[in-house]
Structure 1
Amino acid sequence: MAAGGLVSTLFAGVVFGVALAAPPGPMNAIIAEESVVRGWVAGFTAGLGAMTADACFFLLALVGIVTVVQEQPTLRGLMILAGGGLMLYFAYGAVGDAREQFSSESTQLAEDDAATGRGFQKAFVLALTNPYQIAFWLTVGVGLLEPGTVDILSKTPYVGSSLTGVLVVTTGSPALIAGLFGGIVLWIVGFPATLVAAGRRVDRLAPLVAAGSAVVLGGFGVYFLVDGVTTLS
């Protein structure tokens, strides 16, 4: 691949990574809650947990194991149920954080190793059972490893149909995968930093974001529980 093509593929991967990471959802709810309640390091660490799960899925897709989930509807349904249950559990925790923040004069809890470690664990375990991430690596993610083309922005959650044809790139290149993870890194660095900076200017942002995270996690949790039951039945 020529240098120009390599750079353009890498850039396309970065755009793809940001586009995948940015839309609202369970992962960003966890990152947002950790960021405004415990600080940038906790938010970044939570994002790192979600990205680590993506790296695991990538490796499993690389060796073909990920297709086992696709071929086993019972296993897929159980994973969706587990993800829904975890989301409801973390939503309960986010409600507790929101209450603590509303009743506290401080808008941010002190950061410590234990707190940031919990954020990583929460996001990592949730990401491993997140149906969106599983579905991505079962379909689009596997396709990125094989020679061909992919309409990158059409795969963006929620708004993909309106972006069809805007950015089509060649797949099967390590540069595309490297760019994708690079884009995710940009998001998990920038998103928490933006929230923390905004929180310092708006005193009540932390409890509001924590409450919003609880609503998002709870909503997705109920949806995935229903989806899991439907899949198993």
Structure 2
Amino acid sequence: MSVITTALAGVVFGFALAAPPGPMNAIIAEESVIRGWVAGFRAGLGAMSADALFFVLTLAGAVAVIDRYPAARPALYLAGGLLMLYFAVGAIAEARNTASFTDAGESDEASGFRKTFVLSLTNPYQIGFWLTVGVGLLRPGTLDVLSHVPAAGSTLEGALVVETGSPVLLTGFFAGIGLWIVVYPVTLDAVGRRVDAFAPVVAALSAVVLVGFGLVFLAIGTLRVV
């Protein structure tokens, strides 16, 4: 099995985890178009740091403790939902007060990092990833990636087999996340500098995403408590 193949598979896994639309990318987008790509990268680094913490806790077996307490997940949904709504208020203010890209960072430069880091720690989906897929990536063995493709799995079986538990795979995984939190803010920053209306629009969309996910999380948490 090729080391390069395993490393590239890790990059794809990391990229796939980081890229989908959601509250983390909403905050990264808001920071990028209002304060520049470095602020966006810093926000992405907050989410990546939480993943690194979950990685260490998974190695130690600590993350699995959450599954032993039925009340833990509803509490996480409620806390995460409230945080998203709180951050949405800030995004709404940015959308109303920002006429264009300003690259004028807040006096507190660590704001974006703290937002994504704290939000990641209360994100049941992120924790769920490390309880399932993350454990699989850490456990020594092999993973036949393409065999799980719907309808074509039997045909593609054996075409892409990677070694799980490999330092190469895990290095590639975090490299994939790192790639996303650089490329995404840089792209948004570049567009924001050319289109004046882009910054307030992205800030408004970020607020919508945060409100949407916040309400969904609160609803799920409430239903699970009841």
TM-score, normalised to structure 2, is 0.91
- Distance change (3 Å), C-alpha of 1:163 and 1:144: farther
> Equivalent residue of 2:20, what SS?
coil
**Matching of residues 108-123 of structure 1 within 5 Å:** 108-111=102-105, 114=108, 116-123=109-116
Q: How far does residue 201 in structure 1 lie from its aligned partner after superposition? A: 1.7
In structure 1, the gaps of 5 or more residues are none
| 188-197 or 126-135, larger mean C-alpha shift | 126-135
Q: How far does residue 149 in structure 1 lie from its aligned partner after superposition? A: 3.4
Q: Does 1:228 align with 2:225?
A: no
- Distance change (3 Å), C-alpha of 1:148 and 1:78: same
RMSD: 2.2
> Equivalent residue of 1:23, what SS?
coil
> Equivalent residue of 1:73, what SS?
coil
- Distance change (3 Å), C-alpha of 1:27 and 1:151: farther
- Distance change (3 Å), C-alpha of 1:97 and 1:212: same
Partner Cα distance (1:136, 1:170) in 2: 19
| 83-92 or 5-14, larger mean C-alpha shift | 5-14
TM-score, normalised to structure 1, is 0.88
| 138-147 or 43-52, larger mean C-alpha shift | 138-147
1:26–1:87 contact (8 Å) kept in structure 2: yes
Q: How far does residue 232 in structure 1 lie from its aligned partner after superposition? A: 2.2
Partner Cα distance (1:9, 1:79) in 2: 33
Q: Identical aligned pairs, as a percentage?
A: 61
Structure 2 counterpart of 1:208, from 178, 201, 206: 201
- Distance change (3 Å), C-alpha of 1:128 and 1:140: same
Aligned to 1:181: 174
1:73–1:231 contact (8 Å) kept in structure 2: no
Aligned length: 222
- Distance change (3 Å), C-alpha of 1:42 and 1:76: same
Partner Cα distance (1:37, 1:142) in 2: 37
In structure 2, the gaps of 5 or more residues are none
Structure 1 counterpart of 2:95, from 74, 86, 98: 98
Q: How far does residue 148 in structure 1 lie from its aligned partner after superposition? A: 2.9
Q: How far does residue 135 in structure 1 lie from its aligned partner after superposition? A: 0.8
- Distance change (3 Å), C-alpha of 1:163 and 1:213: farther
1:19–1:153 contact (8 Å) kept in structure 2: no
After TM superposition, where is structure 1 displaced by more than 3 Å over at least 4 residues in a row? 149-155, 160-168
Aligned to 1:16: 13
Partner Cα distance (2:151, 2:132) in 1: 20
Partner Cα distance (1:60, 1:225) in 2: 26
Aligned to 1:45: 42
> Equivalent residue of 1:107, what SS?
coil
